[in-house]
Amino acid sequence: MSETVKLIYRDKCIELPLIEGAEGELAIDIGKLRQKTGLITFDPGYANTGSCQSAITFMDGERGILRYRGYSIEELAEKSIFTETAYLLIHGALPTRRELNHFSVLLNDNSLIHEDMQAFFQNFPRASHPMGILASMVTALRSFYPAYSITNEEELNLIVARLMSKIRTMAAMSYKISKGHKVIYPRPDLTYCANFLNMMFDNPVKPYRIDDTLVEALNVFWVLHADHEQNCSTSTVRMVGSGKVNIYAAISAGISALWGPLHGGANQSVIEMLMDIQKNGGDVQKAVMRAKDKNDPFRLMGFGHRVYKTYDPRAKIMKRMCDKVLRKLKISDPLLDIALKLEEIALQDSYFIDHNLYPNVDFYSGIVLRAMGIPTNMFTVMFAIGRLPGWIAQWKESLDDPKWRLSRPRQIYIGNTVQKYIPIDEREVAGQS
Ligand code: SDX
């Protein structure tokens, strides 16, 4: 008999079962609440609400723990590569060498996009944000690849490879076309990350020299971003997918959800914030004061997290990657100095300590991307490419879940009670319509 909690409401007293997770976390199963009491729960932003049971990613926000399928993010960032981590998230186990080689062949074989899709890029205004282009292009994939079923492993592998490989090609192609440069095609002899860098920066008169440190940094960057349990964009993919729409539409919805500056768009906002501070003479104290001022909408971008109430474990790794990449390229970035100063001051300030505000994954990630030469307006696209395997894994898990059903939250209505329709000529009070 599972443990229960008692809910006493007016003349009713009901027992609700407790659900326990693999790491001991507990939840009240309110699946029968409305049926038994007529009550619903109210939790804006879902800060206290579990939407599903998942075996993909475990986070402990108090202890700063992040694991994909039980493997720590620290170990995967150090020992794995992005395609292997993607396979782990989606299939639930680390691939054998044969499985990884097969996955790499599928990624290569599906790395081109239909030539007709190139015309789409030509018709976006040049100043279009790459996230808007990416969301549109991923939805458009449905028009070129209509039929699929994920009932068998091979079909699923094809869908995964098609999405993962083409999103990378489309991102690089969008950049080249936005610059008026020649589009560089994927190469069969390059790894996933090296191929992306080459498609972004190679050109006919100045061949791109692939730097192993940047390839390693990109692998780490995408491993760190690959999944993060039920964040805003992943919950969006699950919500949209629950209507049984095709995977391209569900992933495109996730891209749009990620775009926001409070979520994946924060990596772009962090760099813009650091550049503003630099422009204003590097006055870090002023930025910290503004972040604490309730009358000032300014927030310290890259700080704070709904789940982590300590240092985001990904931010620690990203911070180390900054040093490694800048040292290898023999460059220094004044924005990194500003970021380090911001962190030092904030982490000694009672406001940030009391509010449990620490650097999150976005605080240092932009510095690494800048060092690679990625334009700021593509930072969230880089996040999306990394998060794609997580979205796919969560989408598939939701469809395989026997308890999964169409997502449709309830509400507490606070509008008008019943109104009588008034013919227009009798509406004397202005604005009554
Ligand atoms: C990502 O969910 C995920 O897992 C997301 C992500 C992933 O991998 O998918 O980790 C990726 O989105 C990371 C977060 C990126 N966003 C930012 O860096 C934007 C800046 N951070 C914040 O806007 C904020 O911290 C959120 C949105 C991330 C989380 O906010 P919450 O949990 O809704 O908390 P809140 O807004 O209710 O803030 C609680 C208090 C408030 O003060 P009080 O009114 O209680 O006094 O903390 C303050 C806030 O004002 N606060 C901040 C702050 N973040 C929160 N104050 C100054 N600067 C900040 N950054």
Q: What is the rounded average pLDDT of the residues 426-432?
A: 73
Q: Is residue 108 pLDDT above 60, yes or no?
A: yes
Lowest mean pLDDT among 31-45, 141-155, 239-253, 323-337: 141-155
Residue 433 pLDDT level (bands cut at 50, 70, 90): low
Selection from 60, 10, 50 nearest residue 30 by Cα:
50
**Which tops the pLDDT comparison, 156 or 392?**
392
Distance 335 CA to ligand 1 centre (A): 22
pLDDT score for 1: 61
pLDDT score for 215: 98
pLDDT score for 148: 75
Q: What is the rounded average pLDDT of the residues 151-159?
A: 86
Condensed to tens digits (0 to 9), the pLDDT of residues 207-216 reads 999 999 999 9
Condensed to tens digits (0 to 9), the pLDDT of residues 57-69 reads 999 999 999 999 9
Measured by CA distance, the residue closest to atom 31 of ligand 1 is 306
Q: Is residue 428 pLDDT above 90, yes or no?
A: no
In DSSP terms, which residues pair with 17 in a beta bridge? 4
| 362 is a catalytic site residue | yes
Q: Is residue 132 pLDDT above 80, yes or no?
A: yes
Condensed to tens digits (0 to 9), the pLDDT of residues 354-403 reads 999 999 999 999 999 999 999 999 999 999 999 999 999 999 999 999 98
User: Is the torsion defined by CA of 98, 99, 104, 106 positive or negative?
Assistant: positive
Structure tokens at 49: 């609400």
Q: What is the rounded average pLDDT of the residues 98-108?
A: 97
DSSP 183: P
pLDDT score for 431: 60
User: Is the torsion defined by CA of 217, 219, 223, 226 positive or negative?
Assistant: positive
pLDDT score for 146: 78
Residue-wise DSSP of 363-400 = HHHHHHHHHHT--GGGHHHHHHHHHHHHHHHHHHHHHH
pLDDT score for 432: 55
Q: Is residue 430 pLDDT above 70, yes or no?
A: no
Residue 234 pLDDT level (bands cut at 50, 70, 90): very high
Selection from 76, 132, 149 nearest residue 378 by Cα:
132
Please provide residue 268's backbone torsions phi and psi, each rounded to the nearest 5 degrees. -70, -45
Distance CA 425, CA 433 (A): 11
Q: What is the rounded average pLDDT of the residues 260-267?
A: 96
Distance 357 CA to ligand 1 centre (A): 8
- The mean predicted confidence, pLDDT, of the chain is 95
When computed from its CA atoms, the radius of gyration of the chain, rounded to whole angstroms, is: 24
Do 300 and 342 form a contact (C-beta atoms < 8 A)? Answer: yes
Measured from the CB, is residue 357 less than 6 Å from ligand 1? Answer: yes
Q: Is residue 270 pLDDT above 70, yes or no?
A: yes
pLDDT score for 224: 98
| 305 is a catalytic site residue | yes
Measured from the CB, is residue 305 less than 6 Å from ligand 1? Answer: yes
Distance 311 CA to ligand 1 centre (A): 13
Ligand 1 pocket test, candidate residues 56, 230, 303, 365, most atoms within 8 A of CB: 303
Residue 218 pLDDT level (bands cut at 50, 70, 90): very high
Residue 152 pLDDT level (bands cut at 50, 70, 90): confident
Measured by CA distance, the residue closest to atom 4 of ligand 1 is 231
Atom of ligand 1 nearest to the CA of 306: 32
Residue 270, SS3?
Answer: helix
Q: What is the rounded average pLDDT of the residues 190-194?
A: 98
The one catalytic residue in 91, 305, 312, 333 is 305
Using CA atoms, how far residue 20 sits from 4, 27, 338, 358, in Å, is 11, 7, 43, 29
Do 270 and 301 form a contact (C-beta atoms < 8 A)? Answer: yes
Ligand 1 pocket test, candidate residues 234, 235, 355, 394, most atoms within 8 A of CB: 355
Distance CA 42, CA 112 (A): 47
Atom of ligand 1 nearest to the CA of 47: 32
As a whole-number percent, the residues of the chain with pLDDT over 90 amount to 94
Any alpha helices (H) in 242-283, and if so which ranges? 247-258, 266-279
Q: What is the rounded average pLDDT of the residues 324-350?
A: 95
The CA-based dihedral angle spanning residues 179, 182, 187, 193, taken in that order and rounded to the nearest 10 degrees: -10
pTM of the model: 0.96
Distance 355 CA to ligand 1 centre (A): 10
Domains of the chain, first to last? 4-60 (2.20.28), 71-263 (1.10.580.10), 266-372 (1.10.230.10)
pLDDT score for 153: 82
In terms of phi and psi (left: phi > 0; alpha: psi -120 to 50; beta: otherwise), the region of 356 is left
Measured from the CB, is residue 304 less than 6 Å from ligand 1? Answer: yes
168: exposed, middle or buried (Cβ count in 10 Å: 0-12, 13-18, 19+)? buried
Distance 292 CA to ligand 1 centre (A): 13
